Structure 1
Amino acid sequence: MAPLASPVSPAAPLASDPHSYASQGTQLVRHLRLYLAVDFAQRTLVGTATWLLTAPAGAAAAGHLAEAALVLDTRDLLLESVSLGETTNGPAAAYTLGAADNVLGQALRIQLPAGTAAVTISYRTAPAAAALQWLNPAQTAGEFPFLFTQSQAILARTWLPCQDSPGIRFTYEATVEILGPERGQLLALMSAENPQHTAADGRYQFRMEQPIPAYLMALAVGRLDFAPLSERTGIYAEPATLARATYEFADLEQMVIAAEQLYGAYRWKRYDLLVLPPSFPFGGMENPCLTFVTPTILSGDRSLTSLVAHELAHSWSGNLVTNATWNDFWLNEGFTVYFERRIMEHLYGSTYADMLQVLGEADLHHTIGELGATSPATHLRLHLAGRDPDDGLNDIAYEKGCLLLLALEQLVGRPRLDAFIKEYFARFSFQSMDTTTFIDYLQQQLLGPEPGLAERLNLGAWVDGPGLPANAPVAHSARFDAVDAVLAQFSAGTPAAALVPATAEWSSHEWVHFLQGLSPTLPPAELAALDAVFHFTASGNAELLATWFPLALRAGYAPADAALTSFLLHVGRRKFLVPLYRALLATPNGQARAQEIYRQARPNYHSVATSTLDVLLA
């Protein structure tokens, strides 16, 4: 592979990020050359990482510092050598490893003689590296092992020595070599330009020409096939899953077109999806060029594809303009939720988008209720120093951030807001953004020119105030009004079978709203009547099951027990797991049952999920 051109960029100020050690150094990285050997037998990655620096050591700090240092984030990595220069044969570098922190890992501080332009690190990952999930064939849809990474928020450092801050960007090129007898049957993919067919020698090469932060580094290896959907979109999945996925995501190219019409050209060349095994802990992860998605959105009726619209929207909000630190997470997610619903409105109409907004607001109110209406954790601008940034990955950033943009839309009108957002993405492309800078930009470009507009928005209450401000928009859904009418009929005694005509064309969202509207004290006989007609317990729709099971648990509806156990044993999506285990714990003898299920299920879960569940089920 020809070397990837990596223009020398001027040294930028080191980011002040409480979740990265990088600010302790004087050098920033600009380009990565990575070699990884994937060893399924040992469950390790054997790596060589060559980091090219933004400027030779001493160039930016001449006359100000006696020495230059490159500081990288690491966690549970076994370092084998650290060399100066672009090969492992260079002079040995003087380095130290800092004290270990359970969340942040260790700082790798490399001393750089003047003129040093690159360092090369040879290392191995730990078998239990938090970002990596190694699956045996029984945990997949086929007969081969599988590996995938999840780097967000600060887990890239567990499989790559890096400056693991969202405010630091770099380009990369990589060679991935699969070891072992299955090498010729496994495909490797990264957040980069990707192959579409397996290589007989198990060796793959990648390049990412646009600068990205470390949390968008991604790798997956498995028995995968590819199906194109358009010239720039397609689906990767295990062979047994590919046909379902291709059907489910048939509108993918139309989503990209809709997004471009809203906020400008797609800047990442291809947009492909990788459907992972069910242990993936999130709904999706917006890795550039290749979004990772959970199979739990394969509902068979294309009703859960708003999640894909969300991950696509991240190609602008997050991947293109990135939160500078995890304290600014709402700048990624609030914009993305707003953008996602605009895409869905464009494709399926405003009544469809209204349902998504109502469901999102319900989730937000539930989260505020759990955190406390006056809690600082309900601010948009977070203060996560000393804590795992995953603590801030909740509905506050997503839904409260979206509501702020909806409040802006109501004040200035959709055309003006769209023009502002489009210009924002264009002006700050491939840069990071913190909350203070965004507020200044918003005041200058949108609020300041019109007297009184800033006061009407009450931005301070949104960003640094708890709960929801008084001017928070409230969504309404006409389609949910029809659902509420059916709920009223059922509550008044109408038999479940009589509801079939009115519910025949309902989407998953309408069914979720229906189930959420049922009395939490509904007796087992009533649930049985509903189940006999609508077959909730046997549903293949994960969103419906995750709403149905808590009702069944509260009522003691035993026919759902086996399905719940099977769901918890096989699905690793944290969004579902946490509330289901909580509902199970709230039942008589629920703690013993929950712990027994968790004992069996834990090997199927990613560390992102187990880090939460270990505490919940301790």
Structure 2
Amino acid sequence: MKSTLFTLLCFIAFLTSCSPSEKQEQNIAEKRRLNDGDIHSYANLDEIHTKHLHLELDVNFDNNTIYGVARHQMVNEKGVDTAVFDVKNIVIQKVTTGQGKEKETDYVIGQDDPIIGAPLMVAIDSTVEFINIYYSTTDKTEALDWLTPELTEGKKYPFMYSQGQTVLTRTWIPIQDSPSNRITYSADVKVPKEFLAVMSATNPTSKNETGEYHFEMKQPIPAYLIAIAVGNLEYRSLGKNCGVYSEPELIDTCAYEFADLQKMINAAEKLYGDYRWEQYDVVVLPYSFPFGGMENPRLTFANPTLITGDRSLVSVIAHELAHSWSGNLVTNASWEDFWLNEGFTVYFENRIMEELYGKEVADILAVIEFQELERTLKKIDQQDTKLKLNLTDRSPDEGMTDIAYIKGAYFLRTLEQVAGRKKFDKFLKKYFSDHAFKTLSTEEFVTYLDHHLLQPNKIDFNTDEWIYEPGIPENCIHITSGRLEKVEKLAEDVANGKNSSKFKKYKRDDLTTQEWMAFIRKLPADIDVKTLKMIDDQLGFKNCGNSEIMCEWYLLAIERGYTLVRPNMEKFLLKTGRLKYLEPIYEELNNSRYQSDKELAKKIIEKAKGNYHPIARISIEEILKS
């Protein structure tokens, strides 16, 4: 006899004859009733949850499909007879229960929501421990990017990787996809023998003849951190417990760029305690990867735009390493608490950079970040400038802005200034230790902060204003950089035609990436095209190979109608899939006062969309709709 709950869920799933608005209301009601704790997951975690997941994966490059079995070991705390999983754009072939002698069981897939997919509702005996879901991915699976050989460095073999954050793991694994549920996992993966498979787990360092690889992640992690990459990869050790994977054509360059990786780990441990994940490796993916880095435990995914030849963008790796404490070790309980992951990580990243390269460099990075925060504050709705967000009926990706990252970091920097670094470091070290391998809500953090830092030290701090109010509080710490002020003065002089002989002595290698970014940002909006060409002729910003500098230069060029950059900008947009660059450039083109810029944006996206990860492609198509 099926449970009352399962029967009710079947009935809800059957209701497909109502109007679209009624369907949406029913779907939302179903979602909220099933899971009161996380509005972006259907899983009934308060009743039954996955403890360990074992994956059996066959990666097929002939039809760009993963055929899999997800074997969930469950903890059924309340003896319920329905388990609910999250699924989106995958095919469920069958569901069984038991281990060894499996028995097929009934299941129902509920109504689909365009953001969070659908609930997979499985009927179980209240004593069942193992639920096995047989499935395959589809061409609509948003987490996976299947690249043709032409989009790789070697141009010979295809490549595949996943990107699960925020709620895309459910598009390649049927899973209870909430950050509040931490699980261990293992996997047996079959790939063509020409390829190496790596995951956010224990990893091989070389290929074998069978193409079969086994993985173990013994520390509990949230579902969004389960990750896989498959390609023609080579490994290079960079220290006692760290190294880098990349295509063979890039391995020497990557090893040089990330040579300080072991020093970063040592600096992080010195600050906030032992690294708890044993090994720390980086895999450099093809250019279509939509982010600078992704903190998958034991194996950071990185974009090759970080490779500049001068190690000037290694702060991104420091950021992903810092996530080994903030985000991976201590995780936001829901996506509305996302700032707990990223604000702490930006703060920690800056402390690692200060430890290794000095306060002057760290301050430069912090000032550049604040400039980016100021840009964001001008563009987004005031309600979205709060650290704690309301994402009801919204994609959790809408919370992935500079507010979570940079306002969050400046909140912590301001706390450090008020409490003193020694007391603040002691507090953070205890915070990471007390909440290791746990999830935390904003409200739980506020209570912890009050009990362990503010009250014991009799500190009066405007915590609620920082977290629950829009904008930046007046007591925000102000960080300055003499070096940036110097280059900003240089920019003003160049724009005004002053000190031209002094400027002509500059070469691009004379200043760091961040200093040239500050220089470009300080050039006035009404600067004439002739001056822009003079700067470009001297410094070659439009094709310098440094993505940060090129992005800033293209944005200014679009604004001023400096069309000579167009061929280089188009080449850049066709090559890179990193959203940090794509979104502002396409926005500037789309909002340009020149019709030719709008037409160029549409022309480029038609050429480039096959090169972009689905996350990036969807984002850019939304921008160009407006």
TM (normalized to structure 1)?
0.93
Deviation per residue, 1:261-301 (Å, 9 max, x gap) = 00000000111000010000001000000000110111110
SS in 2 for 1:22: coil
2:452 is equivalent to residue 445 of structure 1: yes
Percentage of pairs with the same residue: 41
CA contact (8 A) 1:25 1:68 kept: no
The partner residue of 2:56 within 23, 35, 51 is 35
The partner residue of 1:551 within 553, 556, 565 is 556
The partner residue of 1:249 within 248, 258, 263 is 258
2:489 is equivalent to residue 462 of structure 1: no
Query: Counterpart of 1:29 in structure 2: which amino acid?
Result: T
How far 1:419 moved relative to its partner?
A: 0.4
Deviation per residue, 1:4-47 (Å, 9 max, x gap) = xxxxxxxxx98700000113772111001111000111111000
The partner residue of 2:246 within 231, 237, 262 is 237
Deviation per residue, 1:132-168 (Å, 9 max, x gap) = 0000000111110000000000000000001101110
2:372 is equivalent to residue 363 of structure 1: yes
Query: Counterpart of 2:369 in structure 1: which amino acid?
Result: G
SS in 1 for 2:286: coil
2:120 is equivalent to residue 108 of structure 1: yes
1:603 — aligned with what?
A: 610
Structure 1 residues 427 and 246, CA gap change in structure 2 (3 angstroms): same
How far 1:497 moved relative to its partner?
A: 5.8
Query: What pairs with 1:76-87 in structure 2 (closer than 5 Å)?
Result: 76-87=89-100
Q: Give the Cα separation in 2 of the matches to 1:25 and 1:68.
A: 13
CA contact (8 A) 2:492 2:523 kept: no
1:220 — aligned with what?
A: 229
The partner residue of 2:65 within 5, 21, 44 is 44
CA contact (8 A) 1:75 1:106 kept: yes
Query: What pairs with 1:263-412 in structure 2 (closer than 5 Å)?
Result: 263-372=272-381, 375-412=382-419
SS in 2 for 1:561: helix
1:9 — aligned with what?
A: none
CA contact (8 A) 1:15 1:168 kept: no
Query: Counterpart of 2:209 in structure 1: which amino acid?
Result: A
2:216 is equivalent to residue 199 of structure 1: no
CA contact (8 A) 1:461 1:469 kept: yes
Deviates more, 1:518-527 or 1:249-258: 518-527
2:170 is equivalent to residue 147 of structure 1: no
1:476 — aligned with what?
A: 480
Query: Counterpart of 2:280 in structure 1: which amino acid?
Result: Y
CA contact (8 A) 2:495 2:531 kept: no
The partner residue of 1:61 within 78, 83, 86 is 78
CA contact (8 A) 1:324 1:433 kept: yes
Deviates more, 1:492-501 or 1:156-165: 492-501
Query: Counterpart of 2:78 in structure 1: which amino acid?
Result: A
CA contact (8 A) 1:77 1:124 kept: yes
How far 1:500 moved relative to its partner?
A: 4.9
Q: Give the Cα separation in 2 of the matches to 1:345 and 1:418.
A: 14
Q: Give the Cα separation in 2 of the matches to 1:422 and 1:483.
A: 37
Query: Counterpart of 2:72 in structure 1: which amino acid?
Result: W
Q: Give the Cα separation in 2 of the matches to 1:213 and 1:403.
A: 26
Query: Counterpart of 2:98 in structure 1: which amino acid?
Result: G
The partner residue of 1:564 within 552, 563, 569 is 569
Deviation per residue, 1:77-133 (Å, 9 max, x gap) = 10111001135x511112111101111111011122121111111100012310000
Deviates more, 1:290-299 or 1:472-481: 472-481
Which runs of no fewer than 5 residues in structure 2 stay unpaired?
1-33
SS in 2 for 1:562: helix
Deviation per residue, 1:444-463 (Å, 9 max, x gap) = 11111244x23xx2111111
2:111 — aligned with what?
A: 99
Structure 1 residues 591 and 148, CA gap change in structure 2 (3 angstroms): same
The partner residue of 2:436 within 404, 424, 429 is 429
Q: CA-atom RMSD, angstroms?
A: 1.5
SS in 1 for 2:183: strand
1:488 — aligned with what?
A: 492
Query: Counterpart of 1:449 in structure 2: which amino acid?
Result: P
Q: Give the Cα separation in 1 of the matches to 2:517 and 2:367.
A: 11
Query: Counterpart of 1:551 in structure 2: which amino acid?
Result: L
Query: Counterpart of 1:247 in structure 2: which amino acid?
Result: Y
Structure 1 residues 365 and 253, CA gap change in structure 2 (3 angstroms): same
Structure 1 residues 197 and 15, CA gap change in structure 2 (3 angstroms): farther
CA contact (8 A) 1:25 1:71 kept: no
Query: Counterpart of 1:108 in structure 2: which amino acid?
Result: L
CA contact (8 A) 1:15 1:167 kept: no
Deviates more, 1:90-99 or 1:283-292: 90-99
Q: Give the Cα separation in 2 of the matches to 1:252 and 1:485.
A: 35
CA contact (8 A) 1:496 1:530 kept: no
SS in 1 for 2:449: helix
Query: Counterpart of 1:295 in structure 2: which amino acid?
Result: P
The partner residue of 2:139 within 117, 121, 127 is 127
Deviation per residue, 1:369-398 (Å, 9 max, x gap) = 1114xx211110011121110000000000
Q: Give the Cα separation in 2 of the matches to 1:577 and 1:233.
A: 31
2:503 — aligned with what?
A: 499
Report how many residues are paired. 588
CA contact (8 A) 2:45 2:181 kept: no
